[in-house]
């Protein structure tokens, strides 16, 4: 007769406490920034700033990154992050397609982000994909990890702005290369067939990740147990990546309602860089990129009047708040030389590629596919190939190719 002895699992490590100073600072920046925008620009601009902050908090708490998710799948066939992206896209198209077909939401005109498909998009997305892995993040990942305290990602962000500025200057040449006109599957096929095809493609990608993950590991690898549960987990993270996917889809729809167009990120980087160029005596206003009345006004006016800029700033502050609530805001200024070089090279690739491809992982991939734009799918395919090459290049810069997603998501 044998007796079984129950063995208790070791307790989870105690999570760090709230960093009150950083949390209060971030909260003050949100309140004061919203008040300033409401008074100087409009209440809607203030709401978009706060919406950006919520996006930053969601991205940080859910560790929702595109770069790490793609790298882990490429290196080890773990597909949880990719499956979460497909869920996010599925919810987005269900929300977006009927509204974009009608042309209005709550009485306000709305339009999607639809761009041409051609050499510029394919090469730009491929370049962006390499930059994701060398820079250590995508557009959204760069913002929220920089806000969360990563000094290296601040370096990537600065290089991102520089690359985006050069991309804006060179875009007319790239736009003249062979391309198809902007194609919206909503307009070409109608809402029903467009939804059916997109949802089928998402399901097919999910199926491929499941098959390949089971073939490599014998099962779907479960996520690690959370350090917090219940209300503390809601306020301080970490969240399940699926929760992040759902929240991001809904928040992108909220952006459509408030701004009249979907979420974007990198157009602000070209604006910031071009304004800096003008401050240094460079006539960026003469570039064809800024020739339209709307673009010329954006270059002339305060960055606080630019929707994308205030949302980007909001993402940084929201991520700072999330990091402080999680007790993980701990900037370090020691960056290995090769890693710093990769951040600069990758950031320039990210910025230049995003301008050539009419957007990044948010504006072209997420919002492009949500808008029914064919260029969103072309971006995804070309960027994935770039990520394969970029993942292979990481060891040359002393960067890890990990087998599980990092907590930062990038």
pLDDT, tens digit (0-9, with 9 covering 90-100), for 220-253: 877 776 666 767 777 776 899 999 999 999 999 9
Q: Tell me how many domains the chain contains.
A: 1
Question: 66 with 140: CB under 8 angstroms?
Answer: yes
Structure tokens of 256?
Answer: 């459509």
Torsion of CA 215, 220, 224, 226, to 10 degrees: 160
Q: Is residue 224 part of a domain?
A: no
Q: Is residue 60 part of a domain?
A: yes
Residue 271 parent element (H or E): helix 267-279
> Under DSSP, is residue 226 helix (H, G, I), strand (E, B) or coil?
coil
In percent, the amount of the chain with pLDDT more than 90 equals: 76
Confidence of residue 11 (pLDDT cuts 50, 70, 90): low
What is the arithmetic mean of pLDDT over 167-172?
A: 95
Q: Is residue 376 part of a domain?
A: yes
Question: 135 with 354: CB under 8 angstroms?
Answer: no
Q: Is the pLDDT of residue 217 over 60?
A: yes
Q: Is 77 exposed, middle or buried (0-12, 13-18, 19+ CB in 10 A)?
A: middle
Q: Which residues contact 17 (CB under 8 A, 6 or more apart)?
A: 327
Residues spanned by the domain of 157: 20-218+238-397
Q: Is the pLDDT of residue 407 over 70?
A: no
Q: Is residue 139 part of a domain?
A: yes
Q: Looking at 4-8, 128-132, 279-283, 397-401, which range is the least confident one?
A: 4-8
Q: Is residue 5 part of a domain?
A: no
The model's pTM is: 0.91
Q: Is residue 309 part of a domain?
A: yes
Q: Is residue 402 part of a domain?
A: no
Q: Is residue 231 part of a domain?
A: no
């Amino acid at each position: 007769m044998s007796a079984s002895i129950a063995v208790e699992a070791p307790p989870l490590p105690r999570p760090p406490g709230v960093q009150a100073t950083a949390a209060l600072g971030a909260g003050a920046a949100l309140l004061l920034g919203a008040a300033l925008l409401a008074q100087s620009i409009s209440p809607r601009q203030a709401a978009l700033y706060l919406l950006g902050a919520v996006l930053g908090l969601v991205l940080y708490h859910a560790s929702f990154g595109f770069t790490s998710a793609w790298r882990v799948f490429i290196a080890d066939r773990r597909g949880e992050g990719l499956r979460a992206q497909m869920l996010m896209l599925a919810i987005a198209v269900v929300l977006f397609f009927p509204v974009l077909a009608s042309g209005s939401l709550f009485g306000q005109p709305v339009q999607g982000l639809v761009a041409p498909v051609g050499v510029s998009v394919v090469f730009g997305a491929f370049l962006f994909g390499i930059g994701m892995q060398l820079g250590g993040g995508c557009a959204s990942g760069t913002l929220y990890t920089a806000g969360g305290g990563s000094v290296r990602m601040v370096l990537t962000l600065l290089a991102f702005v520089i690359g985006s500025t050069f991309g804006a200057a060179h875009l007319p040449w790239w736009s003249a290369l062979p391309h198809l006109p902007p194609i919206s599957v909503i307009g070409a096929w109608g809402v029903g067939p467009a939804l059916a095809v997109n949802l089928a493609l998402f399901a097919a990608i999910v199926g491929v990740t499941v098959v390949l993950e089971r073939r490599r590991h014998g099962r779907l690898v479960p996520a690690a147990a959370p350090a917090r549960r219940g209300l503390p987990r809601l306020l301080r993270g970490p969240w399940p990546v699926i929760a992040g996917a759902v929240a991001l889809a809904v928040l992108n729809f909220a952006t459509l309602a408030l701004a009249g167009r979907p979420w974007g990120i990198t157009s602000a980087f070209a604006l910031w860089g071009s304004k800096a160029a003008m401050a240094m005596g460079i006539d960026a206003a003469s570039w064809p990129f800024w020739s339209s009345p709307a673009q010329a006004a954006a270059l002339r006016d305060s960055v606080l009047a630019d929707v994308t800029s205030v949302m980007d700033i909001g993402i940084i502050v929201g991520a700072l708040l999330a990091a402080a609530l999680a007790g993980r805001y701990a900037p370090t200024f020691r960056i290995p030389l090769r890693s710093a070089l990769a951040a600069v090279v990758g950031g320039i690739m990210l910025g230049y590629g995003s301008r050539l491809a009419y957007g990044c992982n948010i504006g072209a991939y997420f919002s492009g596919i949500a808008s029914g734009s064919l260029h969103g799918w072309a971006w995804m395919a070309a960027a994935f190939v770039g990520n394969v090459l970029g993942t292979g290049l990481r060891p040359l810069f002393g960067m890890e190719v990990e087998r599980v997603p990092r907590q930062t998501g990038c």
